Amino acid sequence: MLKVLLWILASIPSLDLCFLIFFEKLGANPQETLLRHLGTWTLVMLILTYSLPIIARIGVNKILSCRRMLGLWTFFYGSMHFLSFLFFENEMVLALFIEDLISRPFVTFGFFSFALLIPLALTSNKFSIKLLGKYWKKIHWLINPIVLMSIIHYFLHRTGKADFLEPFIALAIVLVVYVSKKLFTYKNFS
């Protein structure tokens, strides 16, 4: 039941986007709205997936069974965000993308956090867990640098506008989750 509910909730931003596109309600700069919308939801899904062990710890144990599903939704929104960037800002030209990757640090951080999501998405299944054994945990530890680089991407994106409220909120949530994880691990071993 929880899985179905979370699946429906996770799909709402994409349905909302389809609605906005269909009724031409994306505003004066539709490409920018689309890109930002997808970036925001990639980050929300990422932080939610990152927080699942803590949410489970504070009582909602069943939520851990939704980890794979939420991880895949993160990857879905990330892929759409990346593809819309390639399409709208680079016209799908590799040379233009490489130029951006080198010259715009916020694109560099965004790209590497997305690139690291790929092995996580590919190994989010029972077969890979069995096959990779202890290496599976090592690969999925990558969520830490992914979250960190995404937050840096968010801050760098906002430097032009000098508006850091939402990036600071995201950072505060991530820090609370990170410290809580460390505290729980420490408690378990002491």
CA 145 to chain centre: 12
**40 sits near ligand HEM (criterion: CB under 6 A):** yes
- The first and second tokens of residue 161, run together, are 């506008």
Choice from 3, 6, 30, 32 touching ligand HEM (CB under 6 A): 32
Q: Which amino acid is at 72?
A: L
- The first and second tokens of residue 82, run together, are 């990346």
Contact 85, 35 (CB under 8 A): yes
44 vs 55, beta carbon nearer ligand HEM: 44
30 vs 53, beta carbon nearer ligand HEM: 30
Contact 157, 106 (CB under 8 A): yes
Q: Which residue in this structure is represented by tokens 């939420």?
A: 70
Q: What is the DSSP string of 143-164?
A: HHHHHHHHHHHHHHHHHTTT--
Number of residues interacting with ligand HEM: please give it, by CB under 6 A.
23
Q: Which residue in this structure is represented by tokens 């054994």?
A: 133
Binding mask 53-82 for ligand HEM (x = CB under 6 A): -------------------------x--xx
**34 sits near ligand HEM (criterion: CB under 6 A):** no
Helices (H) and strands (E) in the chain, counts: 9, 0
* Least distance from ligand HEM to the Cβ atom of residue 104, Å: 8
Binding mask 88-127 for ligand HEM (x = CB under 6 A): -x-----------------x--xx-xx--x----------
34 vs 54, beta carbon nearer ligand HEM: 34
* Least distance from ligand HEM to the Cβ atom of residue 107, Å: 5
Contact 112, 149 (CB under 8 A): yes
Q: Which amino acid is at 54?
A: I
Binding site for ligand HEM (CB under 6 A): 32, 35-36, 39-40, 42-43, 46, 78, 81-82, 85, 89, 107, 110-111, 113-114, 117, 150, 153-154, 157
